[in-house]
Amino acid sequence: MNKKNVKRRNAEATRKAILESARKRFALAGYDGAGLREIAAGADVTAMMVNRYFGSKEQLFAEVLDHVMEKPFILTPEALGSPNLARSTASALVAITNKQEEPLDGFSVMLHSASNKKAAQIARLKVEQGRQKSLSDALQGPLAAERAAILLSIVAGVQVMRQTIGITPLAEADPDDLVNLLTPVFDKLING
Amino acid sequence: MNKKNVKRRNAEATRKAILESARKRFALAGYDGAGLREIAAGADVTAMMVNRYFGSKEQLFAEVLDHVMEKPFILTPEALGSPNLARSTASALVAITNKQEEPLDGFSVMLHSASNKKAAQIARLKVEQGRQKSLSDALQGPLAAERAAILLSIVAGVQVMRQTIGITPLAEADPDDLVNLLTPVFDKLING
DNA sequence: GCTTTAATTATACAGTTGTAGATTTATATT
DNA sequence: AATATAAATCTACAACTGTATAATTAAAGC
């Protein structure tokens, strides 16, 4: 019997390794800041493998966004039924934006790539297809889509300011204080 | 009588022109995205003038941030006494983040440069020295600094999402709806 | 064990970046 | 009008970028 899906030197594993390295680098440095050689080195291959497996840097970026967007770290549709959603959302956001944490989410990728027009357009597309839509579907009441978008904006804003830029006192503040301040804000948007 | 401050070919005007062109380009494309030749062309000079007048791209960036930070477009300390501050802040933010508007503020510069470590550090310094401090001084009540920082984060987040990325429906939403949704959010943070 | 085929690398190219040194140009003073 | 001086440019360089082509290497099937 002949096996068709034979993996020599494990092509599938290499592809995954590149994708994972790209996610990390894009999240840290954005589309422009992450070089192909750097991404490839993170996957223990040479830069040419990237183009072999993904065609171009742009296509790689799009695929990375697909992956990071499909599992939201916060405000998941399932969690939207919870009674203390506003507070749990606030505390998840504060926890994740701790400095030492690796920025592992689509927001980092998107925000750090906002200055590049092509990358920003790809990111917008992916956000609209992914999180934004499922979130606004789950929210109740009038102007659900707008409220969802503002919610995402606040999450994004806090993440950049706290984690990337590291604004004082956001970066050094007592996490509990931040949660207490953010909770009523989120509550306004979730419950109206 | 001999005049000491003689300007040949108007050095001062050239310096200002470069600074202004740099502000525009940095706001649009961020630190990495704005090339020195491009910035220089916007001031009708060659790229070498930039280094002559500012020493390096980094120093130019720092000086641009000094200028854009010293005149806040929103949440000015003077306006903080106004009764309807939350609403006027919301409506100013919505008005300014209209797509056609040129991004003329320090937030754009900062956000688009967040992916570059050096640039992000310079930006953080300037924000802390400038707007952040005056704003938290003006806010009343407990945790004023934290509330001010969250306020700035929300402004930043809405700006990126609405203007730079152009998320639907934030970009196309009815401005009045957005103002109505943002006002109670800002009110929570301003008045507690 | 040899051949085939796919995974991986090596080399190279054209473009861009920030910047340095030498040179040219314009202007104010003599 | 000639000269001194500062403004502006020209040329160039070394480092980087994404990517294309050609060569090499390793493993599967016979």
Residue whose token pair is 């470590």: B117
Q: Residue at minimal CA–C1' distance from C7?
A: A9
B38 strand C contact, CB < 7 Å: yes
pLDDT value at position A138?
77
Distances, alpha carbon A148 to alpha carbons A144, B18, B119, B176, in Å: 6, 40, 31, 16
* Local structure of residue A7 (DSSP, 8 states): -
Residue B65 lies in a domain: no
**Same-domain pairing of A122 and A158:** yes
Q: Residue at minimal CA–C1' distance from C30?
A: B2
**Same-domain pairing of A78 and A165:** yes
Q: Do A185 and B150 lie within an 8 Å CB cutoff?
A: yes
Best CA proximity match to B156, nearest among B188, B122, B110, B189: B110
Q: Kindly report, residue by residue over B147-188, the tens digit of the pLDDT.
A: 999 998 999 999 989 988 888 889 999 999 999 999 999 999
Estimate in Å the CA A17 to C1' C16 gap, whole number: 29
CATH code of B41's domain: 1.10.10.60
**Same-domain pairing of A34 and A76:** no
pLDDT value at position A4?
41
The DSSP line for B63-120 is: HHHHHHHHS-SSS-GGGGG-TTHHHHHHHHHHHHT-TTS---SHHHHHHHTTTSHHHH
Average pLDDT over residues A169-185: 95
Q: Do A181 and B110 lie within an 8 Å CB cutoff?
A: no
Q: How close does chain A come to B61, measured CA to CA in Å?
A: 15
pLDDT averaged over every residue in chain B = 87
**Same-domain pairing of A51 and A101:** no
Q: Do A157 and B162 lie within an 8 Å CB cutoff?
A: no
User: SS3 for A147-178, per residue?
Assistant: HHHHHHHHHHHHHHHHHHHCCCCCCCCCHHHH
Residues A4-17: b if buried by 16+ CB within 10 A, e if exposed: eeeeeeeeeebbeb
Residue B63 lies in a domain: no
**Same-domain pairing of B77 and B17:** no
Residue B167 lies in a domain: yes
Estimate in Å the CA B8 to C1' C4 gap, whole number: 75
Q: Kindly report, residue by residue over B99-129, the tens digit of the pLDDT.
A: 776 665 678 888 889 889 999 999 888 888 8
Domain that holds residue B43: 11-56
Residue B61 lies in a domain: no
**Same-domain pairing of A41 and A100:** no
pLDDT at residue A121 is higher than 60: yes
Q: Do B167 and A111 lie within an 8 Å CB cutoff?
A: no
* Local structure of residue A79 (DSSP, 8 states): G
pLDDT value at position B38?
97
Contact B154, A153 (CB under 8 A): yes
Q: By the CB < 8 Å criterion, does B149 face chain A?
A: yes
**Same-domain pairing of B158 and B185:** yes
pLDDT value at position B104?
53
Task: Output the CA torsion B118→B121→B127→B132 (10° steps).
Answer: 160
pLDDT value at position B99?
74
Q: Kindly report, residue by residue over A20-57, the tens digit of the pLDDT.
A: 999 999 998 999 999 999 999 999 999 999 999 999 99
Q: By the CB < 8 Å criterion, does A114 face chain B?
A: yes
A153 strand C contact, CB < 7 Å: no
> Which chain B residues have a beta carbon less than 8 Å from that of A114?
30, 111-112, 160, 164-165
Distances, alpha carbon B176 to alpha carbons B4, B73, B90, B93, in Å: 56, 20, 10, 12
Q: Kindly report, residue by residue over A67-102, the tens digit of the pLDDT.
A: 888 776 677 767 777 788 999 999 989 998 887 766
pLDDT value at position B2?
37
**Same-domain pairing of A178 and A89:** yes
Average pLDDT over residues B24-50: 95
pLDDT value at position A1?
39
Q: By the CB < 8 Å criterion, does B150 face chain A?
A: yes
Residue A124 lies in a domain: yes
CA pair distance B133, B143, nearest whole angstrom: 13
Residue A169 banded pLDDT, cuts 50, 70, 90 = confident
CB atoms within 10 A of CB B2: 4
pLDDT averaged over every residue in chain A = 87
Q: Do B165 and A189 lie within an 8 Å CB cutoff?
A: no
Residue B171 lies in a domain: yes
**Same-domain pairing of A119 and A154:** yes
The SS3 call for residue B17 is helix
Residue A104 lies in a domain: yes
pLDDT at residue A117 is higher than 50: yes
Q: By the CB < 8 Å criterion, does A127 face chain B?
A: yes
pLDDT value at position A126?
87
Residue B5 lies in a domain: no
Q: Do B160 and A156 lie within an 8 Å CB cutoff?
A: yes
Average pLDDT over residues B89-94: 92
**Same-domain pairing of A127 and A103:** yes
**Same-domain pairing of A50 and A79:** no
pLDDT value at position A108?
84
pLDDT value at position A8?
63
Q: By the CB < 8 Å criterion, does A115 face chain B?
A: yes
B28 strand C contact, CB < 7 Å: no
* Number of domain units in chain A: 2
Q: By the CB < 8 Å criterion, does A47 face chain B?
A: no
**Same-domain pairing of A47 and A82:** no
